[in-house]
Structure 1
Amino acid sequence: MPLPFLTADRAFDDAVEDAALPFHDRDRWRRPYRPGPWRVAAAALLLLLASYVLVAAVVIAFAGALPGAGLCVCLAALVIGAALRLLRVGTWVSARGLRRVSFLRTQTVPWARVASVRTAQQPVRWLGLPRTVQGQALMLVRHDRPAGEGATLLTDRGADFLARRTAFDRAADAIEVWADEYRPTA
């Protein structure tokens, strides 16, 4: 079964070096990088947990406690949904704008509101935890926000790029190219 969100940047792998935006349908939302091994491992563990909960639901159903089995099936559905949402987390681009997908919310910024997308050396969160380390971050600066306030799109210490420095550089470059291509020049 193909999982398109796991092979998001296959076109980047197969593209010619001089074609920065190798997609024909640029109105479709795309993540220009693959999810990292930490994110995929966490989702796989959640799916493994869901399979155990589903087996427990079957055992409970055969024991005759249908309300308990229904509760287990609902819990497994929630865990499966959480695993799929975890795989969707990241920065997505299209001709319409830039989309930041977090676990609980999604924020879309049209290219007209984007002032710049740049890489900055700064303290970043390690795997999204409260601990900060020195690293690189891809920052989004918007026209409708104060000049010093920028949103972090990607970090090289996040779940997608930890120990994958070249993947972070490629993803940051790809998102910067999308921004340069579609951001209106003032």
Structure 2
Amino acid sequence: MPLPFLTADRDFGGSDESASTALPFDDRDQWRRPYRPGPYRVGAAALLLLLASYVLSAAVIIALARDVPAAALCGGLAVVIIAVAVRALRMGTWVNSRGLRHVAFFSTQTVDWGRVTSARTVQQPVRWLGLPRTVQGQALVLVRRDRQDEQTTLLTTHNADFLGRFEAFDRAADSVEAWADEYRPRR
């Protein structure tokens, strides 16, 4: 079963086609993540899905023992674990011709390109794998017209998608910046 939210539509490698255009997508009205999810995010989701399979097996065994409330509880727990895994895979920065969408675990924030002042890469302390510990790294930040004094961090070199993959971070940041440059209105 193909999972389109797991892969970028095109390879951003050294092909001549991708070098000629910064935005290599055919349908720009569809929400796209311009990078592939990192190995830490995919690995964590795979472990959660493995745990969910064990919990579902336990639910079937409990149901065969005719303890329906306990089987329903195990089944509900498995559904919650699967939902957490899918949400973890959906997290990230998504773009289309209308705007930019930053998907966190508990929230989703969508910003129209008309409200974006800039999307730029800066050197700053960043959170390591989303934990409270900070390390020096790069971050792609979004500055909005309605919140000039506040920057939203979209991507970092030390999050679950780019930890140890600095070239992938550079390609993803360049791609998001290219979307912002193309669709942001000039003032």
TM-score band w.r.t. shorter chain: over 0.9
In the alignment, which residue of structure 1 is the partner of 2:18? Answer: 16
**Kept in 1: contact 2:12–2:171 (CA 8 A):** no
Superposed CA deviations along residues 62-90 of structure 1, whole A, max 9, x for unmatched, are 11101110111111011001100100000
In the alignment, which residue of structure 1 is the partner of 2:72? Answer: 70
- Note the C-alpha offset of 1:10: 2.9
**Residue correspondence of structure 1 range 105-144 to structure 2 within 5 A:** 105-144=107-146
Q: Does 1:91 align with 2:93?
A: yes
Distance 2:128 2:18 in 1: 33
In the alignment, which residue of structure 2 is the partner of 1:176? Answer: 177
**Kept in 1: contact 2:140–2:173 (CA 8 A):** yes
TM-score (structure 1 length as normaliser): 0.96
In the alignment, which residue of structure 1 is the partner of 2:38? Answer: 36
**Kept in 1: contact 2:10–2:24 (CA 8 A):** no
**Kept in 2: contact 1:118–1:176 (CA 8 A):** yes
**Kept in 2: contact 1:11–1:23 (CA 8 A):** no
Distance 1:177 1:82 in 2: 31
Distance 2:164 2:177 in 1: 21
Query: Which consecutive residues of structure 1, in runs of 5 or more, have no partner in the other structure?
Result: none
Distance 2:83 2:98 in 1: 27
Distance 2:59 2:120 in 1: 49
In the alignment, which residue of structure 2 is the partner of 1:7? Answer: 7
Distance 2:29 2:117 in 1: 21
Distance 2:63 2:126 in 1: 47
2:147 to 121, 145, 148: 145
Distance 1:9 1:32 in 2: 8
The Cα RMSD (Å) is 1.1
Q: Give the paired residue count.
A: 185
- Note the C-alpha offset of 1:9: 4.1
Distance 1:179 1:155 in 2: 17
Distance 1:169 1:69 in 2: 47
Distance 2:168 2:11 in 1: 14
Distance 2:147 2:98 in 1: 20
Letter in 2 for 1:153: L
Letter in 1 for 2:181: D
